[in-house]
């Protein structure tokens, strides 16, 4: 079931109407209150509901956030009588507030609470139950209805063929780093190689590991779609992230395990049968966003697999350019035995500027950059001049039917912008670290279907998430590192031949010119990031 956010906010607002200003401010948080204070005389119930829904989503009434406690303790006795009766409590008790809080510790009693305040079962996540299975079989059926995903682009195929050639010309364990610019389809390229690898094997265990569950799921879905088109048998795939704990028979045919680093780390610390099996039986290890492999906490996991699995092929994927003066890149090259597969043209010559090459051929979008005309001392989350100019500029873009991603200055700034934009009737949603995975997927789908036009975040959308319908980025945060700038800018690089646009726009605070130490502008940074 899909829930309407406006209806949820309206339902919450009714419950919040009787809360006093002090309680509203406590729930809203000091920084968000400071940001929106100049726009509104007092915090309305609607604004409070919008803020809390942005912060916590369907997990709003999880006791760990204290929202329950603040609402109950901020309510007058007479407003709690009907709830106390529904919970079977003594309404004459002097401790009615504490009695109610003690009762509200189970899903059943939460259901009573929601019913009492006419709130939807959205907050029980009944409609958002994760129906994905830990282990799936990809079945190939005669006369199966399939949608063509086309063939790899020529440059993707060149990368794959070079990788195969290097592997075939080596013996024993093999490691290599594949460098492809953001937006060029490194996931698709790696999956194409996986398919070729599997078709030649009767039995193999393959790990795809990345830093986030969303990216692991995205890779799984890419593989699943392509195997239905190119596969030659039924295959077993496993999820190993979040709640998913696969039981794997490593001696059985082909196993493909899509993992998140933190889950693997947890399994290693438990010395689980799963990790021991992976450690001893992996044949192909693909590390997406390969720079994470240098982190000590992840290196221990990968080294354990690399040192114990025989005849292991390890492939790292990165969109970060290899700069000779970069110590991290030097370490990354060493980690993959200095075997680097870089971007080449049809004549097998390394392309010095892959972004320019791909933009000229319409695989990547060209970028226009616009700098917001705002004094430097006003570029701060609490500045009403700053936020008003942003809102007006967004509304101008929406008149042109643009799909927009905003990178706010902080998590609280993202939530405050969500409140301010919704007040202006903008169809938007906010994604922060606390946003549940299921809800993120719903927001992504709504954005791609143009049911919402603006996605607001601080840094969650900086890497990897595949959102093809982006027209404009609003970059309000300052860049601390050039690599972060590259990752963020990558959200606007999908070109016409990859399902995007010929040209996209970046609207940025002017401070980024100084912070990224670029004498020209962000457009030049994009064009020169691989030189």
- Local confidence band at 111 (pLDDT 50, 70, 90 cut-offs): confident
**Quick one: pLDDT at residue 528?**
44
Beta-carbon neighbour count of residue 302 at 10 Å?
23
Bridge partner residues of 429 (DSSP): 455
The domain made up of 361-528 has a fold known as: Rossmann fold (3.40.50)
Per-residue model confidence as pLDDT tens digits over 280-337: 999 999 999 887 777 777 888 999 999 998 889 999 998 766 555 556 666 778 888 8
CATH 3.40.50.300 spans which residues of the chain? 135-351, 361-528
Closest CA to 253 of 240, 271, 238, 275: 238
Residue 104 has pLDDT above 60, yes or no: yes
Spatial distance between the Cα atoms of 21 and 4, rounded to a whole number of angstroms: 27
| Cβ atoms of 362 and 496 closer than 8 Å | yes
Bridge partner residues of 364 (DSSP): 494
> Going by C-beta distance under 8 Å and a sequence separation of 6 or more, which residues neighbour residue 236?
135, 136, 137, 138, 252, 253, 254, 255, 256
> Going by C-beta distance under 8 Å and a sequence separation of 6 or more, which residues neighbour residue 89?
96, 99, 100, 103
> Going by C-beta distance under 8 Å and a sequence separation of 6 or more, which residues neighbour residue 375?
none
**Quick one: pLDDT at residue 418?**
93
Could you tell me where the DSSP H helices lie in 90-173? Answer: 96-103, 107-116, 154-168
- Domain spanning 135-351: CATH 3.40.50.300: yes
CA distances to 210, 253, 257, 278 from 246, in Å = 17, 16, 9, 11
Residue 256 has pLDDT above 50, yes or no: yes
**CB-neighbour burial class of residue 508 (10 A; exposed 0-12, middle 13-18, buried 19+):** buried
Instruction: Please calculate the CA angle 228-229-235 and round it to the nearest 5 degrees.
Output: 35
Per-residue model confidence as pLDDT tens digits over 30-71: 999 999 988 987 889 999 999 898 888 888 888 888 888 888
342: left (phi over 0), alpha (psi -120 to 50) or beta: beta
Closest CA to 179 of 311, 355, 359, 360: 355
- Local confidence band at 513 (pLDDT 50, 70, 90 cut-offs): low
Task: Give the pair of three-digit tokens for residue 368.
Answer: 């226009």
**Quick one: pLDDT at residue 373?**
84
Whole-prediction pTM = 0.78
Residue 521 has pLDDT above 90, yes or no: no
Beta-carbon neighbour count of residue 193 at 10 Å?
22
> Going by C-beta distance under 8 Å and a sequence separation of 6 or more, which residues neighbour residue 437?
130, 213, 214, 242
28: left (phi over 0), alpha (psi -120 to 50) or beta: alpha
Closest CA to 54 of 407, 428, 382: 428
CA distances to 156, 331, 366, 378 from 196, in Å = 14, 29, 33, 55
């Amino acid at each position: 079931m899909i829930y309407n956010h406006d209806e949820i906010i309206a339902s919450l607002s009714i419950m919040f109407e009787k809360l006093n200003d002090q309680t509203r401010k406590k729930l809203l948080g000091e920084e968000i209150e400071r940001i929106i204070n100049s726009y509104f005389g007092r915090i309305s119930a609607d604004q409070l509901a919008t803020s809390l829904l942005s912060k916590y989503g369907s997990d709003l009434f999880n006791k760990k956030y204290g929202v329950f406690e603040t609402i109950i303790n901020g309510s007058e006795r007479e407003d709690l009588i009907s709830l106390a009766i529904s919970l079977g409590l003594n309404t004459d008790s002097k401790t009615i507030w504490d009695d109610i809080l003690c009762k509200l510790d189970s899903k059943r009693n939460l259901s009573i609470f929601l019913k009492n305040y006419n709130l939807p079962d959205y907050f029980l996540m009944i409609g958002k139950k994760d129906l994905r299975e830990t282990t799936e079989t990809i079945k190939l059926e005669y006369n199966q209805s399939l949608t063509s995903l086309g063939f790899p682009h020529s440059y993707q195929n060149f990368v794959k063929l070079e990788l195969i050639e290097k592997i075939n010309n080596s013996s024993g364990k093999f490691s290599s780093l594949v460098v492809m610019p953001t937006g060029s389809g490194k996931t698709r390229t790696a999956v194409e190689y996986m398919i070729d690898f599997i078709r030649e094997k009767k039995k193999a265990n393959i790990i795809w590991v990345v830093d986030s569950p969303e990216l692991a799921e995205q890779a799984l879905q890419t593989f699943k779609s392509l195997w239905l088109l190119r596969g030659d048998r039924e295959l077993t795939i496993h999820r190993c992230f979040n709640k998913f704990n696969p039981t794997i028979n490593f001696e059985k045919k082909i196993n493909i395990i899509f993992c998140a680093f933190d889950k693997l780390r947890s399994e290693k610390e438990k010395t689980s049968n799963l990790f021991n099996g992976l450690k001893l039986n992996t044949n192909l290890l693909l590390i997406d966003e390969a720079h994470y492999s240098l982190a000590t906490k992840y290196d221990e996991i990968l080294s354990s697999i690399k040192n114990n699995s025989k005849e292991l092929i390890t492939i790292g994927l990165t969109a970060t350019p290899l700069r000779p003066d970069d110590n991290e890149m030097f370490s990354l090259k060493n980690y993959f035995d200095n075997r680097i597969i870089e971007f080449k043209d049809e004549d097998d010559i390394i392309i010095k500027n892959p972004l320019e090459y791909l933009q000229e051929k319409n695989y990547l979008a060209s970028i226009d950059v616009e700098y917001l005309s705002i004094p430097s001392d006003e570029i701060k989350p609490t500045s009403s001049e700053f936020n008003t100019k942003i809102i007006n500029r967004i509304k101008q873009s929406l008149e042109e039917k643009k799909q927009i991603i905003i990178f706010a200055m902080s998590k609280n700034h993202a939530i405050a912008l969500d409140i301010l934009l919704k007040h202006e009737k903008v169809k938007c949603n906010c994604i922060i670290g606390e946003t549940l995975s299921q809800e993120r997927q719903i927001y992504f789908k709504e954005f791609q279907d143009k049911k919402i036009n603006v996605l607001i975040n601080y840094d969650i959308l900086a890497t990897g998430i595949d959102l093809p319908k982006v027209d404009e980025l609003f970059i309000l945060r300052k860049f601390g590192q050039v690599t972060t700038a590259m990752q963020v800018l990558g959200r606007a690089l999908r070109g016409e031949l990859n399902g995007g646009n010929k040209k996209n726009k970046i609207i940025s605070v002017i401070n980024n010119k100084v912070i990224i130490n670029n004498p020209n502008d962000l457009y030049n940074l994009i064009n020169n990031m691989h030189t």
